[in-house]
Amino acid sequence: MGRMPDLEDTLLNPKFHYFMVGVIFLAAAVVSTCTGKTIARYRGWVYRAKEPNEFWGVVAIYYLGTIVCIGIYLYEVGELSYGVPH
């Protein structure tokens, strides 16, 4: 029987949580951009045609969340540390 993988090699590693949240933010941003509607806090659905400023503000936050989460992930795994030891 095979051995269990180490925690370092699985998605259960806390470093991968930032990556997964970043992917969720990216998926939400892309789906919102393509469909023209997104969900806003306390407001329900916001449509691009009816409220463009509100819509693009929410979508921009999704894209910003993507950049931040994936950036933290890359820093944690050492791709953006530029020689800084962990």
Residue-wise pLDDT tens digits, 8-37: 556 666 778 899 999 999 999 999 999 999
- Length of the chain (residues): 86
Query: Cα 78–25–11 angle (5° rounding)?
Result: 50
Instruction: Specify the pLDDT at position 61.
Output: 96
Alpha carbon distance 53, 28 (integer Å): 18
Among 27-31, 34-38, 43-47, 72-76, the minimum mean pLDDT is found in 72-76
Tell me if 77 sits within 8 A of 69, measured CB to CB.
Answer: no
Every domain of the chain and the residues it spans: 13-76
pTM: 0.75
Residue in the block written with tokens 């806090």 = 41
Rounded to 5°, angle at Cα 38 from 37 and 44: 110
Band (74; pLDDT cuts 50, 70, 90): confident
